[in-house]
Structure 1
Amino acid sequence: MNESGFLSRIRKYSLYLAWIVSLIAVGGSLYFSEIAGYVPCKLCWLQRIFMYPLVIILGKACYSDDRRQIGYVLPLSMIGGAISLYHYMEQKIPGMAGLMPCTSGVPCNTDYINWLGFITIPFLALIAFSLITIILWIGKERAPQFADEAEATTGL
């Protein structure tokens, strides 16, 4: 399969792929907090605020094949990704913790998991937000062949 074939498949199934990534991220978030017993910090809650609606919005977009929802999802995923990046930097860069310290509850620089020395919960969230953003950016505009197929099936 050539590169354009790969990108056209990503474009065609972008809503579904992004929805699956958001489902996995929400499932992981709930696993870590409810089953593993890790209490989320303030920044974790902010990331949840931006990830959880994506499951509903992308699920509805998949059901109705409504690519217009991408315009609502991209800002949520980009802002959530920025929060995840900041949170990850706060965990891994010693001087970052003083910029916005978590003054109550769980400290934001706590590493509940540290797989391979760099994979933490904020890193996993950053990967999820980045994947959703990239997948939807690719799928933002339908390829001309898909637009023609949609017109043929809807009669528009």
Structure 2
Amino acid sequence: MPDAATARSETLLFLAFVIALGATLGALFIGEVLGQMPCVLCWYQRIAMFPLVPLLAVGLWRGDAAVKTYALPLTVAGLVVALLHSGLYAGLIPEGITPCTRNGPSCSDRALMSVLGIPIPYLSLGAFAAIALCLIVMKGKRS
């Protein structure tokens, strides 16, 4: 019978996996079904989010909490880009210094960037922050 710390780690790892899966499916739905072309910063966030799904799934399947060693760098990288994107969307960062002004859609276009009234940059920031929190709080190595 697993102890409380192991059960908590399993729950946190499962939660991180579900968040990453939901964010990945949401991004694919927005791009492929709704036809919204992602901006440059959205692509960078996808690069960080998409591999988290199989990575966390394997860690969950193998019962290995050490997966956070591999998942946390991707999560932090995505979190940094999502923070930059959210700052740009909020108007805290001038649009001229971002890669979104050259090719593709603007990273701060308010018309294209919301799901149920919540801006996509904020959803991404929340997903990366929640995954990071789950991974940081996880304790120990499971067998």
**Is the structural similarity TM-score above 0.5?**
yes
Question: How far does the alpha carbon of each residue in 1:87-133 deviate from its partner, in whole angstroms, 9 at most, with x for none?
Answer: 1111111652122242111111112244687x211111111100000
Equivalent residue for 2:106? Answer: 107
1:137 has 2:136 as partner: yes
Residues 1:15 and 1:100: Cα distance change in structure 2 (over 3 Å): same
Residues 1:136 and 1:95: Cα distance change in structure 2 (over 3 Å): closer
**TM-score normalised according to structure 1 size:** 0.79
Contact 1:10 1:135 survives alignment (8 Å): no
Aligned pairs for 1:5-154 (under 5 A) are 10-93=8-91, 95-102=93-100, 103-111=102-110, 112-114=112-114, 119-139=118-138, 141-142=139-140
- Separation in structure 2 between the aligned mates of residue 137 and residue 94 of structure 1, nearest angstrom: 28
* Identical columns (%): 33
- Separation in structure 2 between the aligned mates of residue 9 and residue 65 of structure 1, nearest angstrom: 11
Aligned length: 138
Contact 1:42 1:108 survives alignment (8 Å): yes
Higher CA-based Rg: 1
**TM-score normalised according to structure 2 size:** 0.86
Q: Which amino acid letter does the alignment assign opposite residue 22 of structure 1?
A: A
SS of structure 2 residue aligned to 1:13: helix
SS of structure 2 residue aligned to 1:110: coil
- Separation in structure 1 between the aligned mates of residue 8 and residue 97 of structure 2, nearest angstrom: 38
Q: Which amino acid letter does the alignment assign opposite residue 42 of structure 1?
A: V
Report which stretch shifted further, 91-100 or 16-25.
Answer: 91-100
Mind listing any 5+ residue stretches in structure 1 that lack a counterpart? none
Contact 2:49 2:74 survives alignment (8 Å): yes
- Separation in structure 1 between the aligned mates of residue 12 and residue 32 of structure 2, nearest angstrom: 30
